[in-house]
Amino acid sequence: MTAYRDAVRTALQTLLREDERVFFMGEDVGRYGGPYAVSKGLLEEFGEDRVRDTPLCESTFVGAGIGAAIGGMRPIVEVMTVNFSLLALDQIVNNAAVMRHMSGGQFEVPIAVRMATGGGKQIAAQHSHSLENWYAHVPGIKVLAPATVQDAHDMLLAAVEDPDPVFVFEHQMLYGVEGELDTEATPPSPWKAIVRRPGTDVSLIAYGGSMHKALDAAEELAKEGVSAEVVDLRSLRPLDKETILESVRRTHRAVVIDEAWKTGSLASEISAILAEDAFYDLDAPVERVCTVEVPIPYAKHLEEAAIPQVEGIVRAAKRSMGSG
């Protein structure tokens, strides 16, 4: 069994060993070993040219990574938590995302940006929000949300190989989660959703940290005779509409779990997709389980009340079945 953080580190080691164009940089990724202990030992193995501690200035080091990518390097940039990435939105949205388009295809921007996201660790509002949909909204970049140990490894490899900017959102509650890792297996496409648990009565659609809560909710529902299918979105841009629609056409009910706020969320987009393309397949309105629209509280009991939990997913599934 391998921890999620160790799977990411294994992918980083592979990339740094196999491609001299790859380098890794971010705040505290070198001597400290990373705020989530992902990069421990990398500085000692690869040296300061390949593993670079940066100043506390996201606009600078994300911008430098974009420039390095345009210049032919394969940078991997770690942003400590998603809120800090907002300081680099100009570089991301107005440079990385548009360069291929504005150059008529002459320039690629093969940068991979990793960042921790999500709540649950009591690090208060500034460090606990889920802003993945802000990035999934932007054409020109790709967005991945690995929920499993295997995906944490495989998706980083795919992100670095991709010619476009790829943003990888790692839920901070997953770093210590353990699972099987097969570094020799041929990975599935990172841009396709996966059905993690088949079912016939209701589709639970989730990603990242919420995917595990959806699986737990499916277990609880099974005890009451409800067969819940769990769909792991995996890629948020591009979004795999086909797998979502196929699942809902089987179950005829949908619950979308999204740790972002409900207004303008990815859950809203998926609900719109189902209304546009599967309206007559639905036997009940789409249910959304999202974070309460407040800054994430610091107090543990309030934080737990604010973000999606298994009990709320179960209740939403029961409502869609007409028994909630």
Catalytic annotation, residues: 58, 127
Q: What is the dihedral of CA 119, 122, 127, 130, to 10 degrees?
A: 10
Q: Do residues 249 and 305 make contact, with C-beta atoms less than 8 angstroms apart?
A: no
Through-space distance between the first and last CA atoms of the chain, rounded to whole angstroms: 38
Q: How far is CA 78 from the centre of its chain?
A: 14
Helix (H/G/I), strand (E/B), else coil: 262: coil
Q: State the number of CA atoms in the 13 A half-sphere of 217 facing the CB.
A: 30
**Distances in whole angstroms, Cα of residue 4 to Cα of each of 121, 146, 160, 189:** 16, 10, 18, 19
Residue 80 CA to residue 110 CA, distance in Å, equals 20
Q: How far is CA 226 from the centre of its chain?
A: 28
> Whose CA is closest to 241, among 274, 196, 286, 207?
274
> Whose CA is closest to 60, among 34, 29, 25?
25
Q: State the number of CA atoms in the 13 A half-sphere of 144 facing the CB.
A: 26
Residue 165 CA to residue 111 CA, distance in Å, equals 5
Regarding beta strands 142-144 and 235-237, do their DSSP bridges make them parallel or antiparallel, or are they unpaired?
Answer: antiparallel
**Distances in whole angstroms, Cα of residue 128 to Cα of each of 100, 123, 167, 211:** 32, 6, 18, 17
